[in-house]
Amino acid sequence: RACARRRHVLAAGQRATSMSTCARLGFVGAAPRATPRRRPGTRVRGENHKSPVRDRCARATSSPRDAETSLPATSLWLATLRAAEGDDIAPAAALVNALEPGSEAARSALDEMRSAEGGVSGTPLWLACVAARNGAPGAIELAQLMVDKGADCSIPGTQGVAGDSTTPLWWAAAAVEAGVTGAVDLARRLVDAGVDVDAEGTYDVVRGPPLLWAAVAVRNGEDANGLALAEVLLSADANPNLRGSYGPTAVGVTPLMLAAQAAPENGGCVKLCAALLEAGATMEANEVSSLLMYRVGSSLVAVKNLLKGGRGD
């Protein structure tokens, strides 16, 4: 049945330019199905066209090299979109495996920008990183494979009615906060590829640089991965003083402020404060006052730890 569904999408080929997908931050699992829409004047395939489509699908699942030569150029984007919606990751992985690193065909397939309904627009790598954040099985490995094949890791994508822009690294950092296994490794691969580690992302009520996700991750219990993400970003000279927002009550805050609010009870936040301070993070006087009010009884201890460099001793 899954193969039949893919045949339906791939048979639509060039005319499947408008689809519905899900890039909501809180979404985990399968999104609403993409529904190819026929362009006006496009002839509907009859029964005599089913065999070639079936053969093409069979080759895509059995031989990556055949898939590269028989599927349309847009198939990688479509296959990655389907994977982001919760379908089998194998068709997209087979298409990527068939690409020759650095070739014109690889660049064309990996860096193709297409749009879908709901304001979603991005490259296959961007879609794979969104899929990783949404917990799609195999999405981390697919994104890493695309990086290995030479995908441009700096091309942003957009989603939502407002056209909010995000980068692949931003979604990889969001995946760390979501507790996705392998997300830190994906973020490291993207950073090693030379992306802008301070590129701000926006979606819904979340806005800020990737480093903000490290603070949110540690606050939410992902201590080890959040600290590892912070180390990756700070080692690449991420600016620790860039501000962002996380929800309606944390607007215009720095990663240090987010971490300090949860110290000293949260040991991971104490360690993150130390790492941020060592990297040059600062806190303005009004932020110290706000922190005192936020913490009430334990705020004096938190500020004392900050002044000591977050050591907590």
Question: Is the confidence at residue 224, as pLDDT, over 90?
Answer: yes
**Pick the residue with more confidence: 285 or 223?**
223
In tens, the pLDDT along 139-169 reads: 999 999 999 999 999 999 998 777 889 999 9
Q: What is the pLDDT of residue 248?
A: 81
Quick one: pLDDT at residue 265? 76
Average confidence (pLDDT) over 274-294? 81
Above 50 in pLDDT, residue 51? no
Q: How far apart are the first and last CA of the chain?
A: 60
Q: Is 241 exposed, middle or buried (0-12, 13-18, 19+ CB in 10 A)?
A: middle
Q: Taking the complete model, does pTM exceed 0.75, yes or no?
A: no
The rounded distance, in Å, linking the Cα atoms of 204 and 20 is 18
In whole angstroms, give the CA distance from residue 195 to residue 198.
Answer: 9
Q: How many CB atoms lie within 10 A of CB 30?
A: 13
Q: Which of 53-57, 251-255, 273-277, 308-312 has the lowest mean pLDDT?
A: 53-57
Domain ranges for the chain: 1-28+54-156
Q: Indicate whether 56 pLDDT > 70.
A: no
Query: Could you read off the pLDDT of 248-282 as tens digits, one per residue?
Result: 878 889 999 888 888 777 889 999 999 999 999 99
Average pLDDT in the chain? 75
Per-residue pLDDT at 292: 64
Give the confidence band of 208 by pLDDT, cuts at 50, 70, 90. Answer: very high
Rounded Cα distance, 71 and 37, in Å: 19
Chain-centre distance for alpha carbon 67: 26
